[in-house]
Structure 1
Amino acid sequence: MKLTWFGHACFLIEHQDIRILTDPFDSSVGYKVPNVSVDIVTESHQHFDHNAHHLLKGDFQLIKELGEYSFKKLRIKGVKSFHDEAGGSRRGTNIVFVFEFSDWTVAHLGDLGHVLNPQQVEQIGQVNVLLIPVGGTFTVGPEEAKKIVEHLQPNVVVPMHYKTKYIKFDLRPVEDFLKLFTNVKRLSESAFELTEEVKSHRAVVYVPSI
């Protein structure tokens, strides 16, 4: 399993000859627009910093609605959630995408704005890798994100959607989230690979560079 973080909520997930790009952004966000070829693009909601699939090249399957999808041996599940704590009345709905490979499960929480309820936790299921927003303002902040980690109990946690020197939004820094955890791995690159060994771990936080 290989993941590459392009910034914000955008990741390239590569496994079993399948390439998935999550929540592509446009250049106004502050990061470089990804220049990659992929099989699938998912968009958790239709805000400009998460839905810029029109800037991508090549042919791909676009998934931006709730439901269940399949591609080769991959199963994708969209779980309904909200962009705020008010049932979506302020910022609309959000889709949590769960990518179920034969041997790995990755959950991308998009711009989740609230702590998950028991039904959502059950729908998401057992997760190996959790890609979770932590910057607050438009999503859950560090404290709420920690509660979500405790509920889902993933092997690996990758924070996203937080303040960096590139981003133009007023978000909290990742350090506010990291101080809530004891096992943190700061990486020197934006891309990293996960082996079967990490499945014996619990809530190890990986922080890729950008």
Structure 2
Amino acid sequence: MFWCVLTAGLAVLAGAVSAQERRASHCIALAEAAPGIEYLHQASWQDPLPDSASVRIHYIDHASFLIQTAGGLNVVTDFTGFLGTAPLIPDVVTMNHAHGTHWTEFPDPAIPHVLRGWGAFGEGIDHHLDLDEMLIRNVSTDIRSGSGVEPNGNSIFVFEVAGLCIGHLGHLHHVPTPAQFAALGRLDVVMAAVDGGTTLPLPDMLEVLGRLRSSVVIPMHWFGEVTLERFLSRIGESYAIERVKGPELVVSLRSLPDRPTVYVLRPAFLAAAP
């Protein structure tokens, strides 16, 4: 299997357009592992990325992440309408609607691409957004709705960039079916809700992560240190744990760890340059 390094470029201008060609990923067709993987340094979301084959992931809050590419794309997951004090207009936002902390009814009209993770009740939605440098697609899953279920009401979004497959599980409420796992393919990096209650029970989330076999797991949707530590104590039996001091991680095809690793990021809203 290929290992990729995630990178992002400095881009605070609205509607940044990437001129780079996307490096083919291996989400579906797996390849052999690449040697010589190294962990890259952390940097501010406003700093240039180390090279064109890297991507930066910045944990903003709750289930929102900023994914930045070397070509200047800015993508925000589970966008709520607030990123912080930085004057950033993302190129793409994704949203899920299980709760108001995962979407906004009024996204800024200046955002070029607003991808909702749901469609008409029970019908789901299909996205396949090709931005040259990045391909964004989704796999629909069910969510709880009142006393019942809304079929296809959640989306797992997959971001194929720099040869990497990065997945955001959204507000996942059930273990994906074999067909859904097949549609996801191999995820090198996955953002996973670890609250153990409002999304998946912890044993089920551990089963999902085991099936995905991602080399980098980033916990999200944790409600305090007790919730986070409960997850880490369970997954630490089979994963390495890296506690990153800040909100950001930069990786590349060469820098994914040899052993599956949980990277604990500390969320921080985006601040304007001083």
TM class by shorter-chain length?
0.7 to 0.9
**Deviation by residue 1:141-162 (Cα, 9 ceiling, x = unmatched):** 3221111111011110001111
Q: RCO (CA 8 Å, sep 6+): is it higher in 1 or 2?
A: 2
Q: Structure 1 unaligned segments of length 5 or more: list them.
A: 166-171
Do structure 1's residue 185 and structure 2's residue 242 form an aligned pair? yes
In 2, Cα distance between equivalents of 1:48 and 1:33: 17
Of 144-153 and 64-73, more deviation after overlay is shown by: 64-73
How far is the alpha carbon of 1:37 from its aligned partner?
2.6
Structure 2 gap segments, 5+ residues each: 1-54, 117-124, 268-274
Alpha-carbon distance in structure 2 between the residues aligned to 1:34 and 1:95? 28
Q: Does 1:54 align with 2:109?
A: no
Whole-angstrom distance in 2 between the partners of 1:151 and 1:46? 24
Counterparts of 1:60-209 in structure 2, within 5 Å, are 60-64=112-116, 65-84=125-144, 89=149, 93-164=153-224, 173-182=227-236, 183-209=240-266
Distance 1:192 1:102, change over 3 A: closer
**What is the deviation of 1:26?**
5.9
Question: Partner letter of residue 230 of structure 2?
Answer: D
Tell me if 1:12 matches 2:66.
Answer: yes
Assess if the C-alpha contact under 8 Å between 1:143 and 1:177 holds in 2.
no
Q: Aligned equivalents of 1:99 and 1:108: distance in 2?
A: 8
> Which structure shows the higher helix fraction?
1
Q: What is the TM-score of this pair, normalised by structure 1?
A: 0.83
Across the two proteins, how many residue pairs are aligned to each other? 200
- Secondary structure of residue in 2 paired with 1:89: strand
Take 1:34 and 1:121, find their aligned partners in 2: how far apart are those partners? Answer: 38
Q: What is the CA-CA distance between 1:115 and the residue it aligns to?
A: 1.2
Aligned-pair identity in percent equals 24
Go from structure 1 to structure 2 and tell me whether the alpha carbon gap of 1:85 and 1:49 turns closer, same or farther (over 3 Å shift). closer
1:45 to 97, 117, 133: 97
Work out the CA distance in 1 between the residues paired with 2:206 and 2:170.
16
Q: Secondary structure at the match of 2:106?
A: helix
Cα RMSD (Å) of the superposition?
Answer: 2.8
Contact residue 98 and residue 105 of structure 1 kept, 8 A: yes
Distance in 1 separating the partners of 2:235 and 2:107: 36
Secondary structure of 2:230's counterpart equals helix
